[in-house]
Amino acid sequence: MNKHGKIITFGEVIMRLNPPLKLKMQQAQQLDFTFGGTEFNVGASLANFGHEVTHVTALSTDFVGDAALRFVKSMGVNPDHVARNEHPLGQYFLEEGMGMRPGQVAYNRLHGAFANLNPAVYDWDMILQGADIFHWTGITPGISENALVALKEALAVAKEKKVQITFDPTYRSNLWQYGQDGQEVLKDLAGQSHILLGSVSEINKLIDTDYPKTEEGFKLAATELLKKMPNIKKVFGKVRADKSATSHAISGHAFNGEYLYEDTITITDIVDRIGTGDAFAAGVIHGLLTQDDAFALKFGLAACAIKHTIPRDINLAKANEIEEIMNGNLKGRLKR
Amino acid sequence: MNKHGKIITFGEVIMRLNPPLKLKMQQAQQLDFTFGGTEFNVGASLANFGHEVTHVTALSTDFVGDAALRFVKSMGVNPDHVARNEHPLGQYFLEEGMGMRPGQVAYNRLHGAFANLNPAVYDWDMILQGADIFHWTGITPGISENALVALKEALAVAKEKKVQITFDPTYRSNLWQYGQDGQEVLKDLAGQSHILLGSVSEINKLIDTDYPKTEEGFKLAATELLKKMPNIKKVFGKVRADKSATSHAISGHAFNGEYLYEDTITITDIVDRIGTGDAFAAGVIHGLLTQDDAFALKFGLAACAIKHTIPRDINLAKANEIEEIMNGNLKGRLKR
Amino acid sequence: MNKHGKIITFGEVIMRLNPPLKLKMQQAQQLDFTFGGTEFNVGASLANFGHEVTHVTALSTDFVGDAALRFVKSMGVNPDHVARNEHPLGQYFLEEGMGMRPGQVAYNRLHGAFANLNPAVYDWDMILQGADIFHWTGITPGISENALVALKEALAVAKEKKVQITFDPTYRSNLWQYGQDGQEVLKDLAGQSHILLGSVSEINKLIDTDYPKTEEGFKLAATELLKKMPNIKKVFGKVRADKSATSHAISGHAFNGEYLYEDTITITDIVDRIGTGDAFAAGVIHGLLTQDDAFALKFGLAACAIKHTIPRDINLAKANEIEEIMNGNLKGRLKR
Amino acid sequence: MNKHGKIITFGEVIMRLNPPLKLKMQQAQQLDFTFGGTEFNVGASLANFGHEVTHVTALSTDFVGDAALRFVKSMGVNPDHVARNEHPLGQYFLEEGMGMRPGQVAYNRLHGAFANLNPAVYDWDMILQGADIFHWTGITPGISENALVALKEALAVAKEKKVQITFDPTYRSNLWQYGQDGQEVLKDLAGQSHILLGSVSEINKLIDTDYPKTEEGFKLAATELLKKMPNIKKVFGKVRADKSATSHAISGHAFNGEYLYEDTITITDIVDRIGTGDAFAAGVIHGLLTQDDAFALKFGLAACAIKHTIPRDINLAKANEIEEIMNGNLKGRLKR
Amino acid sequence: MNKHGKIITFGEVIMRLNPPLKLKMQQAQQLDFTFGGTEFNVGASLANFGHEVTHVTALSTDFVGDAALRFVKSMGVNPDHVARNEHPLGQYFLEEGMGMRPGQVAYNRLHGAFANLNPAVYDWDMILQGADIFHWTGITPGISENALVALKEALAVAKEKKVQITFDPTYRSNLWQYGQDGQEVLKDLAGQSHILLGSVSEINKLIDTDYPKTEEGFKLAATELLKKMPNIKKVFGKVRADKSATSHAISGHAFNGEYLYEDTITITDIVDRIGTGDAFAAGVIHGLLTQDDAFALKFGLAACAIKHTIPRDINLAKANEIEEIMNGNLKGRLKR
Amino acid sequence: MNKHGKIITFGEVIMRLNPPLKLKMQQAQQLDFTFGGTEFNVGASLANFGHEVTHVTALSTDFVGDAALRFVKSMGVNPDHVARNEHPLGQYFLEEGMGMRPGQVAYNRLHGAFANLNPAVYDWDMILQGADIFHWTGITPGISENALVALKEALAVAKEKKVQITFDPTYRSNLWQYGQDGQEVLKDLAGQSHILLGSVSEINKLIDTDYPKTEEGFKLAATELLKKMPNIKKVFGKVRADKSATSHAISGHAFNGEYLYEDTITITDIVDRIGTGDAFAAGVIHGLLTQDDAFALKFGLAACAIKHTIPRDINLAKANEIEEIMNGNLKGRLKR
């Protein structure tokens, strides 16, 4: 297989546990479990598109970590830079929403194997050798000081090696419990990166502005961002007009000096909403590695859309299946 | 926890057995099972809101009854007045509907432990001591003479102790097989009660009228009811405009001398329709115990709405989750 | 297929509900369900051996009865004389034992469709036309007066048509609640039958004796039985030396004027103990229809043995698989 | 039960394997399995409506074939002409679609027991004795030369015995791998048949025309078909306006010299789309056997509609349930 | 129900997650989950025997904690002194052993809700009012300083109120990570307690001896213990001669000045080994509360034995079922 | 990780489908599915021990093949030489045995993707570059002419590159349907190989002898084999004294000029017997790559033993866990 690009992702591989069939946790006696984590989800989707992906992380040494490692391998992601330590694997519990009932998430990740990673074990020079893309998100530095230190080292080496840096600067207030000001850290790290996966609200946080969530607002915000953080060259965002837990509409826009827009896709019959942003990010990166910005936006939006119909955290749709969505084939007819 | 009120519910705890995943019974080899029963559903929901609830019933002495008893306890409902006898536990089988396919129910309850309860074992003086609410429905007296006798004793003691009596006078023609005229019995029992949970069709049956199922019809019917049965002071009803087995719209109205109306909530993505009326009843009672009639109607309607998204018989939504629905937050966004 | 004999069985088809994986009922949320019933189990096993079997019974008209009817058909048993009525299907709950933990059964059958059967609907002349065997057990007349009436009619017609009558006169004290003395009824019915499937304890009850459960006791008891009830020509019994819920040893003996003995088979790794007596009965009847008494005893014992390894109520082993057991092939090696 | 007609169906009984809960195959570790096959689906539905149905097929001799045979019996279909051979049972894997995600099917049937059937084992004179209908589809002759040979023999005997021949001439390009021109074979077989279940596209293929898929196109196509293939007397078709994998609208039309039309039924909350065409065919045949062409079209369309809500391949709705749909009762209210 | 005694247990309620059917974690996609915790297991079993039990603990405020709380209630244990905090619930993963394959456990409990409990929230004066027994184990103080502080307060109040203190001083080297010398702490806490549940190895650790694990060794060790720690009046221990993960033999001995011995029970067909020590402890405490030391030892041993056949952490056998085991009824025959 | 050796395995990756919980196929509605195949099982186990393993095979291009490919990756086996074609994936159905009930297997592999592999697609020069071991079995050449051709090419290249060739010459009479004399082919291929995994019966087939299955027989047979086929330098065999489907005893012997013997390990509580021979082969190869012949035999036997307790086809035990078995630790105690 022709592998278009070499991508390095860095972040927690986290166990997902959720009751089946829309049960509340207190009603269940079995939990479905799988693994995810925003950066890994991006990497796994890119591996699925045929790219060469290495995911850098830390797992527990126990049999829970064994299961996570097997999952990483199953995705065709290179596991050579997966560290192990004696702390338990991070996890989240999910009660899925339905109609007007909100889904709920409960995390247990702040004292886990990834939070306790040893930054010294990662040889970023070797890891980033020959890489096209290094991808990070705002989750990682929010987990622990160790994770932040490792991320900073990775970014420094990536800069040195002229690796393109893509990032999703999600700020989560329930992270950042180790004594750093998350907003400030993210500004600093964003300034060292090149392609932002986010929209008006993310930009506003990065540059302390208050642009409205409109087309005009996005243009102004992105323009100002590229001025203030000159390393950043492009912004790709999706806009969600959610109607209920199971029906949504999404559109996409981007700014690379020019404004690009991708029209709404309506999503019904949602199977799983987790990982749809990661599917967008992976789609955009795939587009950038194989074609151009317009294709990247369009492909990213279609990838995001179809992910809503795929269970669990990772987008398993193939590139050609996503291209069918791009081409407006939304009827979902049976293929014999 | 501050328990707002003390509520006594009396009725059958019935086993529910249904094939999973919309299978027809003849296609299945496993049945999901849980327990319910209209009065218990009301009590369990009220316990979940923080009230002190005692459920009075009779269970089988076998291991099926053990399972039912554990279920009662799991809901935080006081089991001290649960009797046991040698008859099998009542049950119902459910084939859930989907789209145009109707759901179907098959009962096996007329010779069970509750039908064969011994009225003499319940010390209603002790049970109703200090109670704020006694709740009954038209199911109980329809099951057996024994159940009717016990209910009458309970109502007599409740009157004596000035306990407020709430009731849902549902008439089911497949009950009442032991020789009583159900309609007449329900009129008698209704006349001893204070707050009706029901709407035009229930009122028409109680006072032999034929008011239409309209706003005006409800006002006239309720007015006449309160005149003819002066113990009854308030009526709370919901109106269902069902469109398919999985999408509905409900609105609420009440009459306490004044007319109150609560606007339509549209319900999509129905997970389980069983117990939605019980959720309404519990919501109204909670509202009455903690605030006023307007709040009771609004809270009851929202409780009814969210129950449609919760599997099995009992509304497990918390009061604050229901208040979010009351406040129009119907998008069901994921809570991290 | 060459169908060796035509057999009529009469009895309740009962739903079996049991928690999976050795859970106690109170720990479970799913129940495995299937159907059984001692006489049906015998008939289904005989159909599986290639005989033409008609099972006569009454099922509920609801969708639970539909499921039971489909199960009857699935066994290749002729369903043309299955009646339906408005009463719920009988059922039993089973908590399976394990090691020193006893299994437990809870019945709900005394007010069901079979208990309420209408004897007038069965045209025994047509049903028994050309039959080789009519098989009954002591369960049926214990369920209700109606069942007893129908059984008596069947026996009378069978006598008239010279159909061989096989029977298993099990007496269960938790049946017989409708006012008959079960022991006396069974004596009467036994006296009209020809081949007893039972051992010393069954014979003692039929002829009010107290023979010990030894080889000598069996010979004496059987001799006296054949003298006192001259219609009875043969007795086939198995002896169980059970050690725990999951390991047993069984041997067989018969009396047809002569004494026959079949040596012990040790059974380990028991999967399901329900229906092992029925497997013995079906095996004996198959042997009688196709070969001789010695073969019948040997085949019945082997059928009983292998049934312990087959889940649910019915022996699904084929005749050639049972013959392998008869021939001492107990190692259970994988067949590729 | 009064059996309205005697129907013979001939075709593969195929195992269906699909991951549960919309999982992709690569995500699953369990597969739901059942059996289907277009001709058997038609036969099973007709048996369910009370007709006497014999299905002619070939199954494997292994335990997989045993399971298929038990399934055939469970449907109340006569299994007396089911052959067995040493080849494995045909099967298909299904990944169900959801919203914009297409369902996918993967077949493994071209070297199976049915493909390798021995035409000599079927005694069509005996099989078709007294039959009202013989039903075939374009799948069967596409599987293998053997299957085609057997089908031709069946058609010849049916002609001789004046049995009405219904057919669904579906052409599948992934079949016909044994060296015949499928389109030509189907024309030949169609010319020997009487009632076509199909619409404009099927007619176009049979008579090499290119009529549009409109009302007018259907009239013209059907008129020309009946002229060119004078054995064909009637055409019954449904038109699907599918919107997504889970919501559809269907209407029906027929031509018997006159044009008949049946208005659109909208289908939401689709549970399973497999077998909906077979449900239509069975519905039409039932209508023809019991009433007239107009009823047949209406009943067929309603049967097709409700099948979308029933899991697995076969329409298990009863005739009276389908008549409720015909009468416009599409709300799916719970029946207690 | 006559509640024989009032017991207070204090310890973590921990979530148990294990792959079903002996799968390794890396092979599974579902986990069975339930709750346990050594002290809670003891309390729940005692509640099941009819005693009044209050369990003191801290749970998470999220929906995982809600599930745990519902579990506590389901056991009939008083939840009035269950605190909640913002930390995640502790948990353990279990890969069950089979034959020569060892079971494995992986914990995630050192940063959970219980580890982070606030000792100030427990009003031990109120909690221990009227209590007969306070039960603790060596797990609790090993989890965190907070847990140790709360335990010390409880012991002090129990002493003041003359509550009998039972304890199981299990030392786990993977706990005690917060800077205390576990062995020394346990000696101190043991010295304040009255009844030791343990055997030679536990005694050796408490008094720095090296007695052999023999009858004589036990007598000498227990004699010395009672001399050195004069508050301790009695020791109850079980001895396990395990042969494989699924077959064991256990015997019991006790010392109260006199030596008591209870002969071996052989256990085959082990379903679950977790919680068997807790079943012993609960059995002994029940025996002490209702009869005498000899009965307590015998009942505890039988309780321990039957627990091996019951899935999950808690002994659900009833007192009369355990008495059957005591009386040597180990055959596990089916009870109809 | 230090990878001790580089191993190439070649053979079919086959889907395994089996009913859960000892059900017969006809009783089940779900099948557990996974993947195996004797050569892949060996490779996956070796990858699990830390070796670098490449598996060469052909999978279907459909989503079933996607699932198989993901499985291959999940095992950490290099998938770079997995071909894909349009034929369906091979598979086998398994009914597991229990006690005296034999397990049964039904195959569907003779027309699958592997049978139809294109020998030209494998670049054996590249594949075998730097390899230490090439492993094959008698299954592969029995599947199809194409498979035989590819295997011969592989052996020729391996010879050229001086790669050690290990083999398990299992002869299955239900293979070899394409016109070759399997026994003769295997002799030829064996003569080109170096290390035989097999025992007396395999040797007898290779050299047309009839040595008894005794210690002496093995010595004589192996001596003669090494004389007649001088490329073969070593033989490693295990001897199974199976007692029932769930309890076995195995011992090992080897011959490398000298005779080696490894004493019996008794295996109770068998979870899965599939793949135990492959576990032995992988264990022996691991031993040879890391230590000496005596260790290889001992480690292989222990690997075989523990595999019986691990579900599905592949031995997932780690090297250190197997060494514990080697050291006689068979009690399976829980590891906390």
Say whether pLDDT at E233 is over 50. yes
Cβ of D71 and C70 within 8 Å?
no
Cβ of B74 and E79 within 8 Å?
no
Report the C-alpha gap between E266 and E251 in whole angstroms. 9
Query: What is the SS3 string spanning D260-297?
Result: EEEEEEEECCCCCCCCHHHHHHHHHHHHHHHCCHHHHH
Residue F32 in tokens? 């557990």
Say whether pLDDT at A2 is over 60. no
- DSSP per-residue codes, E109-156: -TTSTTTT--GGG--HHHHTTT-SEEEEESHHHHH-HHHHHHHHHHHH
Picking from A14, A26, A100 by the largest number of B CB atoms within 10 A of its own CB, the best residue to mutate is A100
Chain D: residues touching F (Cβ < 8 Å): 17, 20, 24-26, 28-34, 60, 62-64, 66-67, 70, 88-89, 91, 93, 95, 104, 106-108, 110-112
List the single residue in E24, E101, E174 with the smallest CB-CB distance to F332: E101
Q: How far is CA D172 from the centre of its chain?
A: 14
* Distance from the D191 Cα atom to the nearest Cα atom in chain F, whole angstroms: 34
The whole-number average pLDDT for the span E304-327 is: 97
Decide if B25 contacts C66 (C-beta within 8 A): yes
Say whether pLDDT at D291 is over 90. yes
Task: Report the greatest alpha carbon distance in chain A.
Answer: 56
What are the tens digits of pLDDT across the range B198-216?
999 999 999 999 999 999 9
Residue F28 in tokens? 């089940």
Q: Given pLDDT bands bounded at 50, 70 and 90, which one contains residue C130?
A: very high
Residue F109 in tokens? 């592999």
Report the C-alpha gap between C107 and C113 in whole angstroms. 14
Closest CA to B225 of B185, B254, B262: B254
Which residues of A fall within a CB distance of 8 Å from E22? none
Decide if B52 contacts B7 (C-beta within 8 A): yes
> Coil, strand or helix: which one is F56?
strand
The whole-number average pLDDT for the span C317-334 is: 93
Q: Given pLDDT bands bounded at 50, 70 and 90, which one contains residue A247?
A: confident
CATH architecture designation of domain F6-230:
3-Layer(aba) Sandwich (3.40)
The residue behind tokens 């070939």 is: D58
* Distance from the E17 Cα atom to the nearest Cα atom in chain D, whole angstroms: 19
What are the tens digits of pLDDT across the range A166-221?
999 999 999 999 999 999 999 999 999 999 999 999 999 999 999 999 999 999 99
Say whether pLDDT at D18 is over 70. yes
Report the C-alpha gap between D106 and D129 in whole angstroms. 37
Q: Given pLDDT bands bounded at 50, 70 and 90, which one contains residue D242?
A: low
List the single residue in E99, E107, E273 with the smallest CB-CB distance to F269: E99
The string over C248-269, giving b where at least 16 C-beta atoms fall within 10 Å of a residue's C-beta and e elsewhere, is bebbbbbbbeeebebeebebbb
Rg of chain A, C-alpha, whole Å:
19
User: Which residue did the predictor score with more confidence, C242 or C201?
Assistant: C201
pLDDT at F336: 85
Residue D234 in tokens? 């009637």
Report the C-alpha gap between F64 and D106 in whole angstroms. 8
Other beta carbons within 10 Å of B99: 25
pLDDT at C48: 97
Which residues of D fall within a CB distance of 8 Å from A310? 24, 101
Say whether pLDDT at E221 is over 50. yes
Report the C-alpha gap between F105 and F113 in whole angstroms. 20
Nearest CA in chain C to B92: C88
Say whether pLDDT at D41 is over 60. yes
Outline where D49-181 has alpha helix (H): 63-74, 124-128, 139-143, 145-160
Which residues of D fall within a CB distance of 8 Å from F28? 33, 67
Decide if E271 contacts E306 (C-beta within 8 A): no
CA distances to B279, D13, D39, F26 from D64, in Å: 48, 11, 20, 7
pLDDT at B4: 79
Q: How many CA atoms lie within 13 A of C131 on its CB side?
A: 27
Cβ of E73 and B70 within 8 Å?
no
Q: What percent of chain A has pLDDT over 90?
A: 90
Report the C-alpha gap between E289 and E302 in whole angstroms. 17
The whole-number average pLDDT for the span A112-123 is: 98
Cβ of C98 and E332 within 8 Å?
yes
What are the tens digits of pLDDT across the range A233-242?
999 999 988 6
Residue D241 in tokens? 């306006």
CA distances to A278, B10, B78, E37, E155 from E74, in Å: 40, 20, 11, 15, 27
Task: Please list, in sequence order, all residues whose beta carbon lies within 8 angstroms of the beta carbon of residue F258, skipping any fewer than 6 positions away.
Answer: none
Q: How far is CA E52 from the centre of its chain?
A: 17
Instruction: Return mean pLDDT, chain D.
Output: 95
Cβ of B27 and D336 within 8 Å?
no
Decide if A142 contacts A176 (C-beta within 8 A): yes
Say whether pLDDT at C62 is over 90. yes
Say whether pLDDT at B277 is over 90. yes
What are the tens digits of pLDDT across the range A42-64?
999 999 999 999 999 999 999 99
The residue behind tokens 């530095």 is: A141
Picking from C22, C247, C334 by the largest number of F CB atoms within 10 A of its own CB, the best residue to mutate is C334
Say whether pLDDT at E69 is over 60. yes
Instruction: Return mean pLDDT, chain A.
Output: 95
Cβ of F269 and E244 within 8 Å?
yes
The whole-number average pLDDT for the span D186-213 is: 97
Say whether pLDDT at D244 is over 70. no
* Distance from the A220 Cα atom to the nearest Cα atom in chain E, whole angstroms: 40
Decide if A285 contacts A7 (C-beta within 8 A): yes
Say whether pLDDT at B283 is over 50. yes
What are the tens digits of pLDDT across the range C245-285?
667 899 999 999 999 999 999 998 889 989 999 999 999 99
Q: CA quadruple A212, A214, A215, A218: dihedral positive or negative?
A: positive
Nearest CA in chain E to A26: E67
Picking from C14, C16, C33 by the largest number of B CB atoms within 10 A of its own CB, the best residue to mutate is C33
Say whether pLDDT at C37 is over 60. yes
CATH code of the domain occupying D6-237:
3.40.1190.20
Q: Given pLDDT bands bounded at 50, 70 and 90, which one contains residue E3?
A: low
Which CATH number fits the domain A6-322, given the four candidates 1.10.260.40, 3.40.1190.20, 3.40.50.300, 1.10.599.10?
3.40.1190.20
Say yes or no: domain C6-236 is CATH 3.40.1190.20.
Answer: yes
Picking from C21, C23, C29, C31 by the largest number of A CB atoms within 10 A of its own CB, the best residue to mutate is C29
The whole-number average pLDDT for the span C142-162 is: 98
CATH code of the domain occupying B6-326:
3.40.1190.20
Which residues of F fall within a CB distance of 8 Å from D116? none
Other beta carbons within 10 Å of F5: 19
* Distance from the D45 Cα atom to the nearest Cα atom in chain A, whole angstroms: 23
The whole-number average pLDDT for the span C146-171 is: 98
pLDDT at B320: 97
Instruction: Return mean pLDDT, chain C.
Output: 95
* Distance from the C74 Cα atom to the nearest Cα atom in chain F, whole angstroms: 10
Say whether pLDDT at A244 is over 70. no
The whole-number average pLDDT for the span A129-137 is: 98
Cβ of D310 and B273 within 8 Å?
no
List the single residue in E21, E26, E98 with the smallest CB-CB distance to F269: E98
Cβ of A73 and F70 within 8 Å?
no
Would the pTM of this model clear 0.90, i.e. be above it? yes
Say whether pLDDT at E129 is over 50. yes
ipTM over the 0.90 cut-off: yes
pLDDT at D3: 56
Report the C-alpha gap between E175 and E184 in whole angstroms. 14
Report the C-alpha gap between A137 and A280 in whole angstroms. 13
Q: Given pLDDT bands bounded at 50, 70 and 90, which one contains residue B245?
A: low
Decide if F145 contacts F180 (C-beta within 8 A): yes
* Distance from the E91 Cα atom to the nearest Cα atom in chain A, whole angstroms: 10
Chain D: residues touching C (Cβ < 8 Å): 70-71, 73-76, 79
Which residues of F fall within a CB distance of 8 Å from D177? none
Q: Where are chain C's structural domains?
A: 6-236
Closest CA to E241 of E231, E251, E255, E229: E251
Residue C182 in tokens? 């079960």
Cβ of B102 and D333 within 8 Å?
yes
Per-residue pLDDT of chain F (336 residues; tens, 9 = 90+): 445 799 999 999 999 999 999 999 999 999 999 999 999 999 999 999 999 999 999 999 999 999 999 999 999 999 999 999 999 999 999 999 888 999 999 999 999 999 999 999 999 999 999 999 999 999 999 999 999 999 999 999 999 999 999 999 999 999 999 999 999 999 999 999 999 999 999 999 999 999 999 999 999 999 999 999 999 999 999 998 867 666 789 999 999 999 999 999 999 888 998 999 999 999 999 999 999 999 999 999 999 999 999 999 999 999 999 999 999 988 888 998
List the single residue in A17, A88, A106 with the smallest CB-CB distance to E106: A88
Cβ of B24 and C88 within 8 Å?
no
pLDDT at A246: 63
Query: What is the SS3 string spanning D296-315?
Result: HHHHHHHHHHHHCCCCCCCC
Query: What is the CATH class of E6-124+131-326?
Result: alpha beta
Task: Please list, in sequence order, all residues whose beta carbon lies within 8 angstroms of the beta carbon of residue F228, skipping any fewer than 6 positions away.
Answer: F207
Decide if E6 contacts E37 (C-beta within 8 A): no
Secondary structure element (H or E) that encloses residue B238, with its range: strand B234-244
